[in-house]
């Protein structure tokens, strides 16, 4: 018995999602040309929940799950990510570093649920850590240790959101994201008022161009609503081991789009860091899949 291949339409949908998620980092940089980062995130999640909450029923999950997911993904992941992308890290590297959320998810699962780490996961973590070390050693004006730290914490918040979402399997993921976004807005708006100030908010809105608002809409509709809903739809129909490895293309799209649209350079050390981190992710995601395939191929067919 061999694993069922992924239908080409489903693969095309997954490919489209990771392309959106990867190129999204360059689009964020466009929006940040005029909008303060926390205000940008506030607008993104406002459009993500309005007007959707008037058309989709709240998923049958506790309010605390929606609140936790909204705060972790909104203020935690994207609030910190947007701050980092202002001056502290390049979009291409950010798209790469944030994928360490996979290892944070493993660590949180071990801590909270008592799951044991496997040998291949240790190998994967060593590879990814080596890639991060390369980035730290090459820190400069465009890629700072502060930016790296902010993106790592953003990845930690993303992994926390993953664990919260896993506590409510089988729900309508689009409705889940929309209703959770309601809880993203208040902390982001409060932080924007506190740290960016009302004058900066007014100035950012006044100076915004059509491309700025296109970036906000794309963040809300393309990246948040379509991306998360489509990914959840795929995960509900296929094993995670079949879908998740496709996410390895996110940093490929991220670094490629940043090089093409923003002129971000791709020196050898960035390629080495990318190879190490993506290699670690590949080991972590693909090893269990190949192990299952070997076991199924070795199993004798039932007459």
Cα–Cα dist 72/67, whole Å: 9
Distance CA 136, CA 134 (A): 6
203 preceded by a cis bond (ω within 30 of 0): no
Nearest to 132 by CA among 153, 148, 155: 148
What average pLDDT does range 191-218 have in this prediction?
94
Going by the DSSP 8-state scheme, the letter that residue 263 receives in this structure is -
224 versus 38: the higher-pLDDT residue is 38
pLDDT for the residue numbered 289: 64
d(CA 253, CA 203): 32
CA angle at 114 for the pair 111 and 118, rounded to the nearest 5°: 95
Measured CA to CA, the distance from residue 178 to residue 48 in angstroms comes to 6
Give the integer Cα–Cα distance in Å for 164 and 148: 25
- pLDDT of the residue at 98: 87
Give the tens place of pLDDT for each residue, 268-292.
888 888 888 888 878 876 776 666 5
Place of tokens 């964020």: 28
pLDDT tens, residue by residue, 222-255: 888 888 778 877 877 776 656 766 777 888 888 8
pTM flag (> 0.85): no
Which pLDDT value is given to residue 1? 38
Q: Any alpha helices (H) in the chain, and if so which ranges?
A: 8-31, 37-49, 63-70, 80-87, 91-97, 101-113, 119-137, 145-166, 173-181, 185-191, 198-207, 210-217, 228-235, 240-243, 249-261, 268-298
Q: Are the C-beta atoms of 96 and 273 separated by less than 8 Å?
A: yes
Amino acid 303: pLDDT: 47
pLDDT at residue 297 greater than cutoff 60: no
Token couple for 284:
């972590």
Lowest model confidence (mean pLDDT) among 6-20, 52-66, 86-100, 280-294: 280-294
How many angstroms separate the CA atoms of 121 and 116, rounded? Answer: 10
CA distances from 257 to 61, 116, 228, 260 (A): 37, 37, 20, 5
CA separation for the pair 30, 10 (Å, rounded): 30
Is residue 103 within 8 A of residue 40, CB to CB? The reply is no
> Distance of CA 60 to CAs 41, 45, 149, 176, Å?
26, 21, 36, 9
pLDDT class of 2 with cuts at 50, 70, 90: very low
pLDDT at 100: 81
At 149-162, the pLDDT tens digits run 999 999 999 888 88
pLDDT for residue 3 is more than 50 = no
Please indicate whether residue 280 or residue 77 has the higher confidence score (pLDDT): 77
Show Cβ contacts of residue 145 under 8 Å, excluding neighbours closer than 6 positions. Answer: 136, 139
Pick from 242, 252, 291: nearest CA to 7: 242
* Cα–Cα dist 257/290, whole Å: 31
| Of 55, 43, 7, nearest in space to 212 by CA | 43
Residues 282 and 118 sit within 8 Å (Cβ to Cβ): no
Predicted confidence at residue 244, as pLDDT, reads 67
């Amino acid at each position: 018995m061999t694993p069922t291949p992924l239908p080409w339409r489903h693969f095309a949908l997954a490919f489209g999602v990771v392309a959106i998620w990867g190129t999204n980092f360059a689009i964020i940089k466009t929006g940040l040309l005029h909008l303060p980062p926390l205000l940008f995130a506030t607008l993104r999640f406002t459009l993500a929940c309005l007007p959707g909450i008037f058309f989709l029923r709240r998923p049958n999950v506790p309010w605390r799950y929606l609140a936790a997911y909204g705060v972790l993904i909104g203020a935690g992941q994207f609030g910190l990510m947007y701050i980092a992308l202002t001056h502290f890290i390049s979009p291409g590297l950010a798209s790469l570093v944030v994928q360490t959320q996979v290892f944070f998810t493993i660590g949180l699962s071990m801590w909270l649920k008592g799951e044991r780490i496997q040998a291949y996961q240790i190998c994967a973590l060593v590879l990814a850590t080596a890639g991060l070390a390369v980035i730290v050693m090459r820190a400069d004006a465009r890629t700072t240790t502060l930016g790296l730290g902010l993106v790592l914490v953003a990845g930690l918040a993303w992994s926390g959101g993953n664990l919260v979402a896993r506590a409510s399997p089988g729900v309508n993921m689009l409705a889940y994201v929309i209703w959770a976004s309601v809880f993203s807005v208040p902390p982001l708006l409060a932080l924007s008022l506190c740290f960016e100030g009302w004058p900066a908010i007014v100035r950012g809105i006044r100076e915004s161009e059509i491309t700025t608002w296109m970036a906000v809409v794309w963040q809300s509709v393309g990246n948040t609503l379509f991306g998360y809903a489509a990914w959840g739809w795929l995960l509900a129909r296929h094993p995670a081991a079949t879908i998740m490895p496709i996410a390895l293309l996110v940093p490929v799209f991220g670094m490629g789009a940043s090089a093409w649209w923003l002129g971000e350079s791709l020196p050898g050390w960035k390629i080495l860091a990318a190879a190490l981190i993506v290699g670690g992710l590949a080991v972590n995601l693909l090893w269990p899949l190949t192990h299952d395939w070997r076991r199924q191929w070795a199993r004798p067919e039932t007459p």
